[in-house]
Chains A and B, each alone.
Chain A
Amino acid sequence: MNLALIPATDHDLIALARTGSEKAYRELLDRYQRPVFSLVYRMVRDRELAEDLAQETFVKVFNHLDRFNPKYKFSSWIFKIASNLAIDRLRKREPDTVSLDGSRHASTPDEVEATRITVESKDENPEEFLEAKELGEEIERAIGLLRPEYRTAILLRHVEGRAYEEIAEVMGVPLGTVKTFIHRARAELRETLAHLRIET
């Protein structure tokens, strides 16, 4: 299979990776490193720890591809492992605040730019940009105040755009519980963000 010509599905890539294709592993990494890292980072709120946990997630997944059940989505499996690792870690330590700086591993200004947490805005107006940046940071902080389970559910739903059923699969809880988590998380977010323009 030529990965450059055919937009391979996750399942195709897994089959290829199981034959030892490094290209297939790298393609899976390209697809999932940002979603997985973002989820873990927003969970643990520590860049270095998030890097370690995201790396651990991929290593676990890649070294146990033979245990992947093709009946399920690959994304569900990898998010499940990532969120389990993050929640386990959260139970052991108190989270820090979000660092807005780039990766400490970045060695060039471009790399710093590529890895820093930035709240982007499509607007050219500096005032609007600052407002959007402030809003983004407020939302990040509000999410940080949620219980880990609520945080996982709301991030998977609204940042990753996952269906309720898939979130239930990822979190290993009934669908009704996911709905409750998301409903309560939204209520808490609205309350925390009530002072911002978001409520108007």
Chain B
Amino acid sequence: MHLSDWTLEQLAEGLLPQAEHRDASLHVESCARCASVVDGYHALFAALAEMPRFAPSPGFSDAVIARTRLTPEPGPVALWLRQFMPKTRRGWAMLAAAVVAPALPILGAIAWLLTHPLLTPVSLWQWATAQGTAAWASTSVVAVRWAANTGVAGVLLGAYDAARAVPPEALTVLATLLAIAIPLSVWAIVRLVRTPMKNVTYAN
């Protein structure tokens, strides 16, 4: 009985486990047909191993290097940040909207306020100074009350007093601006996150 071709191939390649190798070698020594097959494989493997490796043209390396991006890869933080960077014009537009949206109503409100005849740089400065002083006084009051009534109730009472010190018009304007800017900004961020930003390509 002869050995299978696969076993003879494995024997010729030297890939049989030790025990099988010994048994197969013993068989081949006494079997002319199997010995001939193994010799044939040895000759084939030797001929294949002799095949030369071809060289590409002399300018091959330079051509590859010319098409290779040699810029250093950014560090881990930059790589992490890069995944959030928009890759499309639409993505950049969304990012710009997210950043600019909260600023626009504030700038608009300032522009509107500056058109008022009684509002001059000097009066604005005086108003701002007065507000600052009032806020500082309120903060002091809050601190004193907090110290006196240690606990959440004291802090809330102090905060309420501080809020009362701010003119109601200013609070209304601030609330309006935030009511417009915050939803607009959230909308822009949501659109930004949902927009596909990567042109995914694969190396293989």
Contact = CB atoms under 8 A, between A and B. Distances in A.
Contact of A159 (B49, B56, B64): B49
Interface string B29-59: 0000000000011011101111111111111
Contact of B73 (A66, A80, A115, A193): A66
Interface in A161-184: 161, 179, 183
B20 interface: no
Contacts of B49: 158-159, 161
Contacts of A80: 204
B204 A34 contact: no
Complex A-B, nearest 8 residue pairs according to Cβ-Cβ distance, in ascending order? A20-B72, A158-B48, A103-B57, A105-B57, A64-B203, A34-B53, A62-B68, A37-B56
A106 B57 CA distance: 6
Interface stretch (A5-13, A89-97, A116-124): A116-124
A115 B43 contact: no
B9 interface: yes
A86 interface: no
A190 B58 contact: no
A155 to B, nearest CB: 8
Given A64-B203, A81-B204, A158-B49, A25 B58 contact: no
B32 to A, nearest CB: 14
A186 B56 contact: no
28 contacts: A19-B72, A20-B71, A25-B65, A29-B61, A30-B61, A34-B53, A37-B53, A37-B55, A38-B52, A51-B60, A55-B64, A58-B64, A63-B68, A65-B73, A66-B73, A67-B202, A80-B204, A81-B204, A103-B56, A103-B57, A115-B58, A118-B52, A158-B48, A158-B51, A183-B5, A183-B6, A198-B43, A200-B43
Interface of A: 18-20, 22, 25-26, 29-30, 33-35, 37-38, 41, 50-51, 54-55, 58-67, 77, 80-81, 84, 103-107, 111, 114-115, 117-120, 135-136, 139-140, 154, 158-159, 161, 179, 183, 186-187, 189-190, 193, 198-200
B108 to A, nearest CB: 45
A76 to B, nearest CB: 11
Contacts of A161: 49
B70 interface: yes
Contact of A136 (B44, B51, B63): B51
B89 interface: no
A93 to B, nearest CB: 20
Contacts of A114: 55, 58
Which of B5, B9, B56, B71 lies at the interface centre, i.e. has the most chain A CB atoms within 10 A of its CB?
Answer: B56
Contacts of A77: 204
Please classify the interface of chain A as helix (H, G, I), strand (E, B), loop, or mixed, using the class held by over half of its residues. helix
The range of chain B's interface size is: 35 or more
A59 B68 contact: yes
B63 A159 contact: no
B194 interface: no
A81 B203 contact: yes
A34 B58 CA distance: 12
B47 A198 contact: yes
Given A60-B203, A61-B203, A119 B64 contact: no
A19 B60 contact: no
A75 B40 CA distance: 30
Nearest to A84: B204
B48 A33 contact: no
Contact of A111 (B6, B58, B63, B72): B58
Contacts of B57: 51, 103-106, 111, 115
Nearest to B15: A164
